[in-house]
Amino acid sequence: MIDATAVRAWLGAFAREVAANRVLLTQLDAAIGDADHGTNLDRGMTDVVAALDDLADASPGVLLKTTGMTLVRTVGGASGPLYGTFFLRMSAAVGDAEALDPARFAAALRAGLDGVVGRGRAQAGDKTMYDALAPACDALDAAFAGRLDLATALQRAATAADVGRDATTPMLARKGRASYLGERSVGHQDPGATSSALLVATLARVVGAEKAR
Ligand code: ADP
Ligand code: MG
């Protein structure tokens, strides 16, 4: 079961991962955007960690809702509302459950992804965070359908997100600022897909490892 402690550990580890990759994310955004993705997401996740620290004994849903609201407020740009929506939709799917079984957690991630699509209208191959998140959700569903354990399923999701992130490099951007570059967006890895792959990798490392013990 994935409880509030696991969700908190995931979000805290993601914040550290974003901080460690802040320069990389910003460099990727410098190539096809406005060089703010790492800086903005790091600022947002730093605020998230502070907000979660103020919430003792919160349920997974409350932690996810606070994360979403904080990101919407502090990150700005395209990715702030998109990441914010992702976590707000996850929170709505989780409701007031104290702990989630793997299938419910996978469904919550899918709800988050649907929220990203509802807001940003990205499709597969548009060179966005969707290209990392959607394969991760698909891999997770397939793994659970095949009755794999949580750690293995999350590892497959992380691998799928990494493959999806790498696949954005040759893509022509069709959404967001990078789309203004047209053909010149080709040959660059998408910053949002890169941060999203970190989100899934962190999930596998923190939540998967915890449950495997
Ligand atoms: P901005 O482009 O406003 O500066 P960021 O730099 O923080 O915002 O984030 C850019 C990332 O947002 C892109 O790399 C892409 O992955 C993601 N993105 C942009 N537009 C969309 C969209 N419509 N749907 C999904 N993701 C998007
Ligand atoms: Mg940017």
pLDDT, tens only, 137-184: 999 999 999 999 999 999 999 999 999 999 999 999 999 999 999 999
- Widest pairwise Cα distance in the chain: 50
* DSSP secondary structure letter of residue 177: G
Query: What is the structure's pLDDT at 71?
Result: 98
Cα(48)–Cα(114) distance, rounded to whole angstroms? Answer: 22
What does pTM read for this prediction?
0.97
Query: What is the structure's pLDDT at 213?
Result: 41
Distance 212 CA to ligand 1 centre (A): 34
Query: What is the structure's pLDDT at 201?
Result: 98
Cα(71)–Cα(202) distance, rounded to whole angstroms? Answer: 18
Distance 136 CA to ligand 1 centre (A): 18
- Cβ(71) – ligand 1 distance below 6 Å: no
Q: Residues 189, 16, 94, 40: is their CA dihedral positive or negative?
A: negative
* Ligand at shortest distance from the CA of 165: 1
**What residue ranges define each of the domains in the chain, with the CATH number in brackets?**
2-212 (1.25.40.340)
Q: Which of 79, 168, 194 to mutate to test the pocket of ligand 1 (most atoms within 8 A of CB)?
A: 79
Residue 3, beta-bridge partner list:
99
Q: What is the mean pLDDT of residues 72-85?
A: 96
